[in-house]
Amino acid sequence: MMGSGLTKEAQNECVFCYENMLPGDRICQLACHPKHKFHEACYDSFSTHFEANGYPFLCPLCRAPVDKSKVTRHVMAKPGAALTAAEENEKAMAYEMSLMNNAKHMGVNDAL
Ligand SMILES: [Zn+2]
Ligand SMILES: [Zn+2]
């Protein structure tokens, strides 16, 4: 074979275990970038390991400090599972709403 280039898509690869993240896998997504996501189990074991040693856990892709409160956990949608995608959307919207409610609760005024 002439071409020795890698043909695999790297964007779905978990940098901890080098396995692809597949539909149905549990995923942790960091707030630093939409594509900075990893297997939940990999993320959990590494972040726990770092913290146990007293080190801050940085995103392995961009070195941004990881804000644990902004890490979102979800199950990777199966291809063609439109219902699941819609449900994810609905959950995201509910989350946005709760943020808005929190903002109001804290006395932030909407300039309408
Ligand atoms: Zn992994
Ligand atoms: Zn990142």
How far is the centre of ligand 1, averaged over its atoms, from the C-alpha of 103 (Å)? 35
How far is the centre of ligand 1, averaged over its atoms, from the C-alpha of 74 (Å)? 14
Q: Both tokens of residue 52? A: 């146990």
How far is the centre of ligand 2, averaged over its atoms, from the C-alpha of 1 (Å)? 36
pLDDT tens by residue, 49-101: 999 999 999 999 999 999 999 999 999 988 765 556 667 778 788 888 888 88
d(CA 40, CA 92): 19
d(CA 101, CA 108): 10
How far is the centre of ligand 2, averaged over its atoms, from the C-alpha of 110 (Å)? 31
Is the pLDDT at 112 greater than 70, yes or no? no
Considering the domain delimited by 10-76, tell me its CATH architecture. Answer: 2-Layer Sandwich (3.30)
- What is the reported pTM? 0.61
Amino acid 92: pLDDT: 83
CA distances (Å), origin 39, targets 16, 29, 46, 95: 8, 9, 11, 22
Domain residue extents for the chain? 10-76, 78-107
Kindly identify the ligand whose nearest atom is closest to the C-alpha of 63: 2
Own/partner pairs for 88-95, CB < 8 Å, 24+ apart? none
Kindly identify the ligand whose nearest atom is closest to the C-alpha of 60: 2
Sheet holding 72-75, edge to edge: 37-39, 26-29, 72-75
